[in-house]
Every structure is written in C-alpha cells, then in structure tokens.
Structure 1
C-alpha cells in the first residue's frame, strides 16, 4: 500500500530524482551541499510516496507554502514543484497517489489553491489543474521603443537586494488580480538573486516615489546581444512609457530587447511600429481549487443574490467530485454539497480545472461555455460571470 509522507532529510535522493527527471542530458552530478542547497534550493517541504516497508521513495515532490491575492483578498496557497519519478517506478500510479496526497495535505492546512509549473499541460490537466495565465514575449530592436522617449519626467536608479521594499508598492499596484504575495526571501532569492547570473534591477521614480521598475539581464548568443526583461511593472501609462524608453536607451549596447510580460501590458498597442515587434505567446502556470465547498464562497466577487446547483467533475479527489449548491445573499456566499435528494439536472456542469479558472478570474463563464468547458444556459453563465468576473491573472516566476 502506498504511503504519502515527508521525505527524511536525505537530500541526495531528492537531488538524484530531480536531476534525472529534469536534466538527464547532464547525468546526475555528484551531490554538493554548497552548490545544490542554496537558499533558493532549500526552500519548501519535500514529500514522497513510499511502498510499505521501503525507505526509498517511489516518487517525490516539493511544496511551497505561499500566499496569493485574488481580487484584492489574500489566501493561503500551495506551490507544487519538483515532481519526479525514477524510470523503474513509472507507470505504477505513484504520481497520482502523490498528487492526491498533496491535495489532502493542502486541504488540511486550509490552502485555497494549488499552483504548479507543468512540464506538460496535458499531463496535469487530466488531474484537474488548468492554465492560470499566459505569458507574452515581445522582441524588437531597441529603436522600436524610442517612441516612448520624453513621455514623462522622472529618474532611474539601480537597486540592490537590500532595497527590495522600494519595489513592493509598484508590484502591488500592478498586480490587481491573482498574484503571489512576496516576502523578503522571495524578493532576495527569486528576483534579485538565486540565478547563475544575477539580474540588473532598476526603479523609476517621480518626485522621489517609485512608479515603475524592471528586472533584466543582458546576454550574448551567436553574436547577438539581448536585453531580456523578465519583469516589468508600472503604476500608470506614463511610467510604462518611461520603462520602454529605458529599454530604447540601450541601443548602443544591445541588438534586441525581449519583454516577458502579461497579456494586459499594451506593448503593441502603444508602439508606433508594431509590425517591427515579434510577439509570441506561451502558457504559464496551472491552478487548481483544493476544496470546492470552501474555495468557491471565499473567492466570490459579485454581490448579486443567486442560488445555483453546480455539478463538478474531479478526476482525483472525491470531496470535489459532486454536486454543490452555491448561494449568495447580501454579499455573503455559501457552498454545500447538494446531497442525494436533488431532483433534475444541475444549473451548471464543468470539470474542476475549468471551475478553477473561473474562480480566480482566468477565464469568464461565457468563454468556458463557448469552448464546451461549461454546460449552462445563457442566464446561468451571466450569473456566474457576475459572481466570478474575469480578472488580470499573472504569475510570471517559478517558485
């Protein structure tokens, strides 16, 4: 019988599994605590699936205990990462057991959501996770951003990790939908450091107050030097233009600027020569409700009175695989299992992945209905759209 439990403090096994799963072309490098247990690597709690009487795990993962804002309110969430199984233990259902055990632990902790960065979307979608947001990369010559010069009067200065708190108000203002809360360690070891090459971080200030910032590296590949912006945030249009101008002012140093941003950042809309910008789109992380009965009322945004029966299909945990009655009255929401006495069909039916997207604002009810992910009439879809309006969801960094 499989047993989900914490992994003893044997980090060499965890290192071995991760190396084989994610970097097999490099072999399994010898475990070196100084190299493989940095502050960034040491974060998170390790879990595994063990066969009865076996001290070597069949599959492993790491949990990050985080907080996230959804429409302005903060909730506990769990980041799931480093799911790895050696080849001799694959096709035995170990990952399924690991994911189910993880969700049970999250539920016991009171975590509202689970977030992960998948190696393959199809793999995790069959277990109930679905895309939280997409990431856009805009690439162009720095000259393409020259239109933004002179748009605003302010100044830039370089920041070190000790000044991370200068960026917090800008990050908070620019992240109004689903976004992770960042503590000091996150800023220091995810944004300012924790990489092979630490980035440059510049803040844009007006009258001494931060109004924007960008995080970037300059890399050379095959004779082309690129300014790769991994994070860009601004409190208003003028500050955003100032950030674009800052990129343009690197025209003597780089051949190309690449901006990795949310779909809501209007790069092509503001540019005078959008045809000169190469834009690509990729899926970002995936999100999943941990407990429908607890999560749906907590994440409700609308204040309209409503009563809906919602049938949810969950392929992994039985506490979500049921019909629920969602009621909202005077801005207060409740969600309970419908029980066996329910007559007739539900008002709405969808799988837990689609419901998760709806709950956090990643997709609207009408969008889910148009692609067959939500079964509901137009009136019900309108009610759901009011209760769970589409929002700006952007999670751009791995744990």
Structure 2
C-alpha cells in the first residue's frame, strides 16, 4: 500500500463521492447530492491509489459537552468504499490517516455512529452512549392532562435562541451532546427530508420557555405515528406539560415514538409503561490521550495522583504510561517512561468508555476490562 495517498477530495471527484455514498448507504443519488450541496457537510477526504478514489469519509468538526467543559471533537461520517475496492484494508488506512489529521488539528476526541461496532472496536473506538426508543399510544399519557398549565406556542427559525437555551440547560452535565450553532438547528433539527418538522415550545405563566418538542408525522403500517426528533425539558413540571401535549394527540395518531438517554427513567413516570428498546449509539475514540485527560474537568472532591498505562497499538502515539495528578477539578498529565509501573492498565477503547462515563472504573475492573491491582488508585479513578 505504499502508493496510497490520503488527501482532501478534489472537486472533480465530488460526483463520484456522491455515487459511492448513495451505493454504500442505499440512498437515492439525488438525496446525497442535496446533502452535499445544502447540509452541514464537513471536510471531504479520500484515499487514492494510482489517482483513483478507493475510500472516502467526511470529517465534521464539532464541539461536544462533556459535563464540565466543552471540547473540540472530530466527527466521522460517510465512510464508504466502492464494492470493487473492498476488503483490501483501505478503510483502515484512511481512518488512521484521518485520526492523525484530527489529532494535528487539536481534536483529542473522535465520535462516530458505526455500521458495525466490532469493526471500529478493533481500531480503538468504544461504545460511549446507549439510547432508548420509547413507543406507545398517546392515551398512555392521559393522566397528565389534568396538570396542564402555561401554553404551547409554535416554534421555528426565529425561536432558535430559545430552543437552544432549553437544549443546553437540560443537557448540561451530560457527556456527548453537541454544541449547536444556528445552522445546525436550521438544517438538521428543524428539517427532515427537505421538509420542515413541527416544533412547539412550552412557556410557563411568566412566559419563560422550559421545554420543547420537535416532531413529524410518519405513516406506518400500524397507523399514523408522531415521530419525535427531540423532546427536551428543563425540569419535571416542564416534562409533565410535554406528556400532556402528547396526550392531546390521541385522536390524531395511534402511536408516539421518541428517543431518550438510557438513564432517563421514562417508564417510572407512567402508570402503564411504554414499549422500550435499548440500542447502542455513538462510539468514542481518544486521539490524543494526554490532551484528552488534561482538558477534562473533574469533580472537585477528586484529589490525588495515579499512573495509567494505555494500550493503543493502532494509534501508537497514545501507547504509554501517564501520571495523572488531579486537584481542584483539573489534571496535570505527564508522560512517563514506557517501562514505568502503572497503577491501572487498560486499552484505549475502555479508556474512552470511562472518559465518557458510559462505564465506571469499578465495574470495568470487576469484569476484567481494566487491571487495577492498586485499590486506592481505582478508588481515585472512580471519583474522577
């Protein structure tokens, strides 16, 4: 593979990029072309051999909330290879080059939505989020109707600042939500398949917006469904109003469908539970372990020092032993000699799962995902 070249996509290859993506993701070519022309496309990259495009992807620069600080993150999308060039290792080589590019651009983190988790797991990505798909009749929410107050008002592009304030306030403290700009709201959240979604904000008696819902109608074999893109509330009362809003559609649709974080106890709030399906979601990779650990914000009660050995043979720049000194919510990270003894050892994919709080250190140790002979160090890592 010495003749492989990774570089920005040439303008002449954009039609081929669209054709490859349409084939790989079973989309109409016109829809891919529309996406390339109008949506929030990032940096198109290709892997070439002999001047021929053999693999492609998109790098999308994001900023991600981590619970304490917002950090730059590289998103990867549109990974595709034409059928005649598959199973030759091209995607791996392209991913490695893309990871090194993002690392050089100051992105210590990379997220993607995998077509197959095991494929990306071998290259150091770890599942960092799960989500739950809830579905059921709007009649299941009837009990919330008697608690209605305030008012729902239609929302659109002129209300993006208010929508974003609710979104940011409700999700602050979690790992993974993306920081959104106005364009993202306009082109991704409020629009589906070139058509506007419905959006409503609930405002209390003082006029303050405290929750919102964004949805579309979906004609399914079992009837009309309200397919909800987002349902977000700042507090329990604001959530109650959203549930009442859903109940008010009992004469219009047979089903409501929405996604929620895996730890959101939706069915605990209902007298009769909704159907719930749990599915893996995004995967995270640490592109620069030292920078990622140093940029993170830690609980202020976590104070101490531990040494961490990270296995990462694929992106070898990361492999090594690190001393992490945590105090007052910040960490000082020092690279040690590779022969230094470590309190804790794990591979980079497991570290990504700890970093995102998808897995807890004690649980990971109990299941053999990390080695932690030093109990005090494990306790400190748990506190971090």
Is it true that 1:370 corresponds to 2:366 in the alignment? yes
Alpha-carbon distance, 1:90 to partner? 1.8
Alpha-carbon distance, 1:290 to partner? 1.2
2:43 aligned residue: 45
TM-score by length of 1: 0.89
Distance 1:11 1:306, change over 3 A: same
**Number of residue pairs matched by the alignment:** 376
1:170 aligned residue: 166
Is it true that 1:231 corresponds to 2:230 in the alignment? yes
Deviation per residue, 1:81-135 (Å, 9 max, x gap): 0010112222222111111111111111111210101111111111111112111
1:3 aligned residue: 5
SS in 1 for 2:317: coil
Supply the distance in 2 between the matched residues of 1:29 and 1:69 (Cα, whole angstroms).
Answer: 34
Is it true that 1:20 corresponds to 2:23 in the alignment? yes
Deviation per residue, 1:33-86 (Å, 9 max, x gap): 5x453421x6211111122xx222221000111111111311111110001011
Equivalent in 130, 135, 140 of residue 139 of structure 1: 135
Equivalent in 263, 288, 292 of residue 289 of structure 2: 292
The answer to whether the 8 Å contact 1:310/1:323 transfers is yes
Equivalent in 179, 182, 193 of residue 181 of structure 1: 179
The answer to whether the 8 Å contact 2:189/2:229 transfers is no
Supply the distance in 1 between the matched residues of 2:209 and 2:304 (Cα, whole angstroms).
Answer: 42
Distance 1:136 1:32, change over 3 A: closer
2:331 aligned residue: 333
Alpha-carbon distance, 1:146 to partner? 0.9
Distance 1:39 1:194, change over 3 A: farther
1:159 aligned residue: 155
Q: How does 1:270-309 map to 2 (within 5 A)?
A: 270-274=269-273, 277-303=274-300, 304-309=302-307
Listed as ranges, the gaps of 5+ residues in structure 1 are 388-399
SS in 2 for 1:146: helix
Supply the distance in 2 between the matched residues of 1:166 and 1:31 (Cα, whole angstroms).
Answer: 30
The answer to whether the 8 Å contact 2:22/2:32 transfers is no
Deviation per residue, 1:252-296 (Å, 9 max, x gap): 00111112111233210110112xx21111111111111001111
Alpha-carbon distance, 1:169 to partner? 1.2
Distance 1:90 1:233, change over 3 A: same
SS in 1 for 2:371: strand
1:257 aligned residue: 256
Q: How does 1:55-66 map to 2 (within 5 A)?
A: 55-66=51-62
Equivalent in 195, 198, 202 of residue 196 of structure 2: 198
SS in 1 for 2:359: coil
Listed as ranges, the gaps of 5+ residues in structure 2 are none
2:117 aligned residue: 121
1:68 aligned residue: 64
Alpha-carbon distance, 1:220 to partner? 1.5
What is the Cα-based RMSD across aligned positions, in Å?
1.9
Alpha-carbon distance, 1:379 to partner? 2.8
The answer to whether the 8 Å contact 1:128/1:315 transfers is no
Q: How does 1:88-107 map to 2 (within 5 A)?
A: 88-107=84-103
1:394 aligned residue: none
The answer to whether the 8 Å contact 1:12/1:31 transfers is no
Supply the distance in 2 between the matched residues of 1:192 and 1:79 (Cα, whole angstroms).
Answer: 21
The answer to whether the 8 Å contact 2:64/2:178 transfers is yes
